[in-house]
């Protein structure tokens, strides 16, 4: 399938990462969101522009001189009418049962783009995310100085990781490329008129692949309501990296392996050309 510009890990990263982070925040946030977070989430719901455009992105670490070929959007629905077509394509990748259980089929592409864009940041507002939360609360063990993420917390993500393992990287890339003009349009509406979503996606993938790999026990502190990592290095990690760490050592390794495969499949579709802006 010759479909120009774009990328690959979007759907997969958005699903697995957003699921983990959404649940962490939902389980341990106070009932009332912090005013700034609430305002950002409300803005994301009420209009297509979401996410702080003022935060600079670094250049993608991989193949900065490779770009995706240009593609016509003539065969695609309008962005605001794309939920049906894109939802069917997504369901074909992850299964109709998983799609019905976990996805919120409303402005999917816009919400996926906003979610991906926020993963390398310190905060990732959750109200506009495209997935439903993982059932249950974060499982912890110990108290006081021994408070830690429970080893069996990773079991909560097992169904999602099973679906992830069934996703074929090349098939995911093909779907992403087919709908890329809509992803790029959504990224423009997000507040990046001169940005390139494919470049931003590579930045996000590299950031996730660089996530720390802490060995259990992963200690926590709870200074007020929210849990935090006791290790300042882990607490300073990006929102996406914190998602990766909460999957547990085995889950994080599995997701990184899949991300590497997706990244390779995406780069195989790219060709020499002028560097694209990173957004």
- As for how many domains the chain has, the answer is 1
Q: Does residue 230 surpass a pLDDT of 50?
A: yes
Q: Does residue 7 surpass a pLDDT of 50?
A: no
**Three-state SS for 140?**
strand
In a domain, 241, yes or no: no
C-alpha span between 106 and 80 (Å, rounded): 9
In a domain, 94, yes or no: yes
Which pLDDT does position 278 carry in this prediction? 42
C-alpha span between 90 and 111 (Å, rounded): 14
Residue 174 phi/psi, 5-degree rounding, is -65, -45
Q: In this predicted structure, which of 28-32, 134-138, 210-214, 273-277 has the lowest mean pLDDT?
A: 28-32
In a domain, 258, yes or no: yes
Which pLDDT does position 10 carry in this prediction? 41
Question: What's the whole-number mean pLDDT along residues 251-277?
Answer: 82
Which pLDDT does position 182 carry in this prediction? 94
Question: What's the whole-number mean pLDDT along residues 208-212?
Answer: 94
Question: What's the whole-number mean pLDDT along residues 123-133?
Answer: 72
In a domain, 231, yes or no: no
In a domain, 183, yes or no: yes
Which pLDDT does position 65 carry in this prediction? 59
Q: Is the pTM of this model over 0.85?
A: no
Mean pLDDT, all residues of the chain: 76
In a domain, 232, yes or no: no
C-alpha span between 27 and 25 (Å, rounded): 6
In a domain, 230, yes or no: no
Q: In this predicted structure, which of 65-79, 160-174, 263-277 has the lowest mean pLDDT?
A: 263-277
Q: How confident is the model at residue 53 (pLDDT cuts 50, 70, 90)?
A: very low
In a domain, 233, yes or no: no
Q: Does residue 197 surpass a pLDDT of 60?
A: yes
CA dihedral 105, 108, 114, 118 (to 10 degrees): 60
- Domain, as residue range, for 185: 10-136+154-212+246-272
Q: How confident is the model at residue 138 (pLDDT cuts 50, 70, 90)?
A: confident
Q: Which helix (H) or strand (E) holds 141?
A: strand 140-141
Percent over 70 (pLDDT), the chain:
71
**Tokens representing 83?**
């939920």
Close Cβ partners of 176 (under 8 Å, ≥ 6 residues apart): 6, 7, 8, 9, 10, 11, 183, 266
For residue 77, give Cα distances in angstroms to 36, 49, 84, 154.
Answer: 34, 20, 9, 38
Close Cβ partners of 102 (under 8 Å, ≥ 6 residues apart): 15, 19, 131, 132, 160
Residue 127 phi/psi, 5-degree rounding, is -65, -30
Q: Does residue 11 surpass a pLDDT of 60?
A: no
**Three-state SS for 63?**
coil
Among 41, 169, 27, 159, which residue's Cα sits nearest to residue 93? Answer: 169
Question: What's the whole-number mean pLDDT along residues 206-225?
Answer: 93
């Amino acid at each position: 399938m010759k479909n120009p510009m774009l990328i690959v890990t979007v759907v997969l990263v958005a699903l697995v990462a957003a699921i983990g982070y959404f649940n962490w925040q939902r389980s341990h946030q106070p009932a009332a969101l912090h005013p700034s977070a609430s305002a950002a989430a409300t803005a994301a719901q009420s209009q297509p522009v979401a996410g702080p455009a003022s935060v600079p992105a670094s250049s993608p670490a991989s193949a900065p001189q490779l770009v995706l070929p240009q593609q016509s959007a003539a065969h695609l629905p309008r962005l605001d009418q794309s939920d049906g077509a894109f939802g069917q394509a997504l369901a074909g990748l992850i299964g109709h049962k998983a799609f019905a259980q976990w996805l919120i089929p409303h402005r999917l592409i816009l919400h996926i783009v906003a979610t991906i864009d926020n993963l390398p940041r310190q905060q990732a507002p959750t109200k506009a995310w495209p997935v439903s939360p993982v059932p249950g609360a974060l499982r912890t063990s110990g108290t006081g100085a021994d408070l830690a993420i429970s080893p069996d917390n990773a079991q909560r993500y097992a169904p999602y990781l099973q679906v992830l393992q069934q996703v074929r990287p090349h098939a995911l890339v093909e779907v992403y490329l087919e709908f890329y003009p809509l992803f790029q349009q959504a990224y423009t509406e997000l507040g990046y008129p001169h940005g390139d979503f494919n470049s931003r996606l590579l930045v996000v993938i590299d950031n996730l692949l660089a996530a720390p790999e802490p060995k259990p026990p992963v200690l926590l502190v709870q200074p007020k309501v929210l849990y935090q990592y006791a290790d300042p290095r882990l607490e300073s990690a990006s929102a996406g990296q914190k998602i990766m760490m909460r999957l547990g050592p085995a889950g994080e390794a599995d997701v990184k392996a899949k991300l590497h495969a997706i990244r390779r499949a995406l780069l195989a579709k790219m060709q020499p050309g002028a560097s694209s802006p990173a957004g």
